[in-house]
Structure 1
Amino acid sequence: MGGRSGMSVNGAGERLRAEDPREIAGYRLVARIGEGGMGTVYLSRTRGGQPVALKVIRREYGSAPGFRRRFEQEVQAARRVQGYHVVPVVDHDTTGEQPWLASVFVPGLSLHEALAAHGPLPLPAVLQLVGCTARALTAIHAAGIVHRDLKPGNVLLSDQGPYVIDFGIARAADATQLTASGGVVGTPQFMSPEQALGDPVGPAADVFSLGLIAAVAATGRHPYGEGGALTLAAQIANTGVRPPRLDLYDDRLRPLLERCLSADPGARVGAGELAALCEKAAGRSLNDFAGWLPQPLTEELAARGRAARTPTPDPTVTDPGPRPPHGPTFATAPTAAPTEAPTPPPYPPTAPAAPRRTRTGLVVAGTAMAVVLAVVVTWTVAKAGSTADGRQEKGEGKPSGQPSHSTGPAPTPSASAAASDDSGYTVVFRDRPFALRSPSGANIVEADLDVPQVVQDTPGREIQLSEISGGGWEFYTPMGKSAGKTPQQCLQGAQSDVLPAEIKAKDLRGTLPVGALLCTITTDKRLAMLEVTDITTSHGNLPDYATRLTLWQKR
């Protein structure tokens, strides 16, 4: 597999090469941050300075019969994924000369990189890694998607737990000429037996892959022994006759591996049950990420985060010139209120991108971070001697347009991050990207601000988004507008400047414009503030809202 193409001195990517484009669909490219079998990933930034990773698909894929249609279908499916620990696809274009897609940023480095640089993880970290990744698979499978290429290179480690990337995109390669003759999509040494044999795969295939990841993360060794990628794939395909040796693994991990690595897909543990079992074995909440990684890894993540705040300059650009009046941007966020502890902006301003030409947009949802975005690789059985080391590209974020449901892990109060004042509230988390997207079809979804997440068929949350009878938002808890971003101002707005209980789709933009601060006391009696950062046209009656969510709780 083609891995990362190289890193610059500041860790934020490699300088653009002479053959690289300088702009894609209105996004000015800043650096090259990865390359693999399916394309190249570039770092770009919104006008507000937020990072965006654009994966430009190789020309041979884009010209292959059936690829663009399948690519569109699979990306649309991936964009429906919402839940914990997933890094969703948030924008794409299949109509240009070269198709491209973009993904949200998360802080972190790939598990493959972490294992190569720092060795196996301690058992508590492995259990939390597997449990949180299983949560991500639960969300992915709920959207009707099978990842098909789950491997250490597609799992990112961050200070907020692991994240899964590139789910569902591997299937698009099935429609290309490149895999028309006996091809197998995925990474051989992390395939399930049914995938290695070319049989149909379902969610259980991803659970098998996660079991392999758990074994490698705990010991640095593959449970099927030594050998090249295709040798290991052959052993996995024969697992019904010769199962892996698991007696050398820790007593707390071995039962989980046995339930993941069953030759029979129907006998494997479900992703949801696996998450619960890992939490029980770890003896701590899967939401508690305080010190979850060894100190050297924690320091590495912090260093990458600092490096990502400094954009890699393009030596061919000496003067970016004045900003254009439009293009992939965000509304500038209001500055922190004077009573709040001031914090520096996560990224310095950069040159703006050119105007967008595609029908969809992108909204950045990220914090200062270093990112890894894996490029999916197509492996063919005939390609003897090929390798797949799981190395990945970095990428994340989103510039103007349709927001994503993915909101990251459940919030956990942090003493170091908590800020308090005479309002009686302390911070649970601040400025977490949270997308309120129109549900597909004539459906209803609910936004739970305490988690946070957007769910379906679960009434009683704070906000209902409906595409029925013309569409609209309904507030389950009284919602008001705040004059500022302190908890005192938010509480006052929630109690005094109360919005109507229901706002029709046609009135949303006028009632809740960009820059609006919406506050409510949640169903869990916390104080929540949504800052509207962008509004875009969606496929339905409702516009899509990109927001930043801050949550406080009573001291």
Structure 2
Amino acid sequence: MSSTNSSSALSPLGPDDPREIADYRLLARLGEGGMGTVYLSRTRGGQPVALKLIRREYARDEAFRRRFAQEVAAARRVRGYHLVAVVDHVLTDELPWLASEFVPGVTLEDALDTYGPLPLPAVFQLVGSVAQALAAIHAAGVVHRDLKPANLMLTAQGPYVIDFGIARAADATRLTRARGIVGTPQFMSPEQGLNEPVGPAADLFALGLTAAVAATGRHPYGDGGALTVATQIALTAQRPPELSGYPAALRPLLERCLTASPEERITPAEVVELYERSQVRPLRDFDGWLPEPLTEQIARRVAELENPPPPESPRAEADTPTVPPEAVTPAPTAPPTYTPTAAPSQPRSQHRATTVAAPAGPPPSQPSPPSPPRSSPPPVHSITSARPAPTPSAGRPTSRARRVGLAAVVAVAVLLLGQSLVSALLPDDSNDDPSGSDTSGGSETTDDPTGEEAPDGADDGTGPNSSPSPETEPYDLLVDAVPFALRAGDYDNTYADYDAPAASSDLDLDDVELTVGDGLWDRWEFETTTGISDGRTPEECRLAAGTNALAPELPYEEFEDTIPVGTLLCTLTTEGNVAMLEVTDLTPTDDTYEVSTLLTVWQER
């Protein structure tokens, strides 16, 4: 993600920017980089997230998609201090995206451009903190590969590493891009420049380069162009950098980081040890760790979150014919939508269809019937994901769990608004009308799914003596109040799959609904939108998942107040089932909780 040097980190959404991606309403632009555009959004619980929408040229490359899926899965396992974690993602949409925690601050790149080099104590604290983050990244089998000042966020709580593990996916593509190499040549290691195998030591080389620039503003390999500097880095074995002009206290670190041989470079643990020997200040004491002007700018960035800039007006189509005034209906109509065909043979855990709603423009030449009134206007254009259940019933659209419980809303909409609104909200391969309007002229016929006509005199469900259809569909009970213990391992997280049901540290993350964090992670993370229910029926549980949702993360310190004994936690699982956890016991253990529950799972017929 690139940044600007303006006082504001947020830019208004442009005419061509989507207003919604999946269930995330976009609030502003955060930046744009080689791999995509980054937007500010919020989870249902109000947590700010940075949502990166991948560029179309990458999305069309199957090698990129495969590598991207592997890297995101690995990145989701990374947890530790000074890391911005991935909280959500979709990899099979026409345009893949991922959402990560958003920490308001200033990138090191912007800080250096605006305020100049950091004081040496701040540089040491920056390097020590980033080394801790790298240790967690490498422990999960991930290499950052693009560590640089633009990927280090300075905040009042210390520095954060962003975008880890993603650049490797771009390196795997066969695309020839006008902007050249994916990544940043000035901060690559010699092995990256020589196209040799890249391991964790490459990130330590980049850390040394970053430390040198942060302390002095000067790059150890000169101020030439990107490829010139990259060439000098690749030749480090023959011509090591000249470090005599750097502060004497910093040179031992630079010498250990900037060696040509990866095996001889310093490790993250040794960086932390080097910092602790300096006795500058406790590594995690960030009270006043940055210069005052920079601290004030960070405070302004925090305040910006409460008042993002309004979006620009959507771009109108210049060649759209004008509709005569008498043809325009007063009721609002849904924006035209484009529904791409889902990729064949997708894994069940990634099977999401995408609906992209185009920017609203002048009315079309053919007037559409009036749409039902809405409580609020639809987004100008959006990218919406829906996960169908593995065994959908005929004639009834279904969806997998979504972040803000769209499935519950749609269930009500089907009953009240009919097929036209379903077409506007959910992708339907049988409906090619891009406007999402009802083309049936207001009437609707229901065919017998068997294809046979009812005999004369038989009650077909429409006569005066027929019973009304139930408002909700029946459910099959799959799991009936079985004991389900949720506890973290000593040094690892535990992942819970309600459909299995199973709780283990080695489950496929695409199948889980809950991550139980260890003491270092210090929280639960709900992988599917989870709410608190007041009732025990599947209908009440499903509704609660979308209308009374918790924040995606629940710190252990809030357990007693948020989920006391007796709480009913409800969600739609990754397979589209309704799951309910009844909390029967909370047992604090060191820095975590052991939570005893009874698990119930229903499947819609």
Q: Which TM-score tier does this pair reach, normalised by the shorter chain?
A: 0.5 to 0.7
Structure with the larger RCO, 1 or 2 (CA within 8 Å, 6+ apart): 1
Is 1:176 aligned to residue 173 of structure 2? yes
**CA spacing shift, 1:450–1:142, aligned 2, 3 Å:** closer
Structure 2 equivalent of residue 38 of structure 1: 35
CA contact (8 A) 1:6 1:33 kept: no
Q: 1:90 is matched by which residue type in structure 2? A: V
**Aligned partners of 2:557, 2:210: CA distance in 1, in Å?**
46
What runs of 5+ residues in structure 1 fail to find an aligned partner? 322-349, 364-434, 455-478, 500-504, 542-555
Pairing partner for 2:386 from 334, 341, 357: 357
Kindly state the Cα deviation for residue 441 of structure 1 after the two structures are TM-superposed.
2.2
Structure 1 equivalent of residue 184 of structure 2: 187
Give the match's secondary structure for 1:284.
coil
Q: 1:257 is matched by which residue type in structure 2? A: L
Deviations 1:184-220 (A, max 9, x none): 4321010111111111110000000000000000001
Is 1:511 aligned to residue 582 of structure 2? yes
Is 1:260 aligned to residue 271 of structure 2? no
Kindly state the Cα deviation for residue 235 of structure 1 after the two structures are TM-superposed.
0.7
RMSD: 4.1
**CA spacing shift, 1:113–1:483, aligned 2, 3 Å:** closer
Q: 1:128 is matched by which residue type in structure 2? A: Q
Give the match's secondary structure for 1:178.
coil
TM-score (norm 1): 0.61
**Aligned partners of 2:594, 2:41: CA distance in 1, in Å?**
26
Pairing partner for 1:240 from 226, 237, 241: 237
**CA spacing shift, 1:246–1:28, aligned 2, 3 Å:** same
Q: 1:44 is matched by which residue type in structure 2? A: S
**CA spacing shift, 1:530–1:122, aligned 2, 3 Å:** farther
Deviations 1:425-473 (A, max 9, x none): xxxxxxxxxx975455269x9845477479xxxxxxxxxxxxxxxxxxx
Structure 1 equivalent of residue 462 of structure 2: none
Give the match's secondary structure for 2:153.
strand
Q: 1:126 is matched by which residue type in structure 2? A: V
CA contact (8 A) 1:12 1:311 kept: no
Structure 1 equivalent of residue 66 of structure 2: 69
CA contact (8 A) 2:36 2:54 kept: yes
**Greater shift in the superposed pair: 248-257 or 264-273:** 248-257
**Aligned partners of 1:25, 1:446: CA distance in 2, in Å?**
25
**CA spacing shift, 1:242–1:177, aligned 2, 3 Å:** same
Give the match's secondary structure for 2:52.
strand
Kindly state the Cα deviation for residue 138 of structure 1 after the two structures are TM-superposed.
0.3
CA contact (8 A) 1:111 1:156 kept: yes
Runs of at least 4 residues off by over 6 Å: 180-183, 350-355, 479-483, 505-508, 528-531
Structure 1 equivalent of residue 590 of structure 2: 523
**Aligned partners of 1:61, 1:484: CA distance in 2, in Å?**
45
Give the match's secondary structure for 1:32.
strand
**CA spacing shift, 1:50–1:530, aligned 2, 3 Å:** farther
**CA spacing shift, 1:91–1:48, aligned 2, 3 Å:** closer
**Aligned partners of 2:560, 2:149: CA distance in 1, in Å?**
45
CA contact (8 A) 1:480 1:519 kept: no
CA contact (8 A) 1:481 1:498 kept: no
**Greater shift in the superposed pair: 244-253 or 141-150:** 244-253
**Aligned partners of 2:401, 2:240: CA distance in 1, in Å?**
47
**CA spacing shift, 1:181–1:289, aligned 2, 3 Å:** closer
Structure 2 equivalent of residue 382 of structure 1: none
**Aligned partners of 2:58, 2:286: CA distance in 1, in Å?**
40
Kindly state the Cα deviation for residue 234 of structure 1 after the two structures are TM-superposed.
0.7
Deviations 1:90-137 (A, max 9, x none): 221122121111111123111001111111011110001000000000
Q: 2:582 is matched by which residue type in structure 1? A: T
Kindly state the Cα deviation for residue 73 of structure 1 after the two structures are TM-superposed.
1.1
Give the match's secondary structure for 1:102.
strand
Q: 2:23 is matched by which residue type in structure 1? A: G
CA contact (8 A) 2:190 2:234 kept: yes
Give the match's secondary structure for 2:231.
helix
Between structure 1 and structure 2, the one with the greater Rg is 2
Structure 1 equivalent of residue 506 of structure 2: 441
CA contact (8 A) 2:44 2:403 kept: no
Pairing partner for 2:11 from 10, 14, 17: 14
Is 1:27 aligned to residue 24 of structure 2? yes
Structure 1 equivalent of residue 211 of structure 2: 214
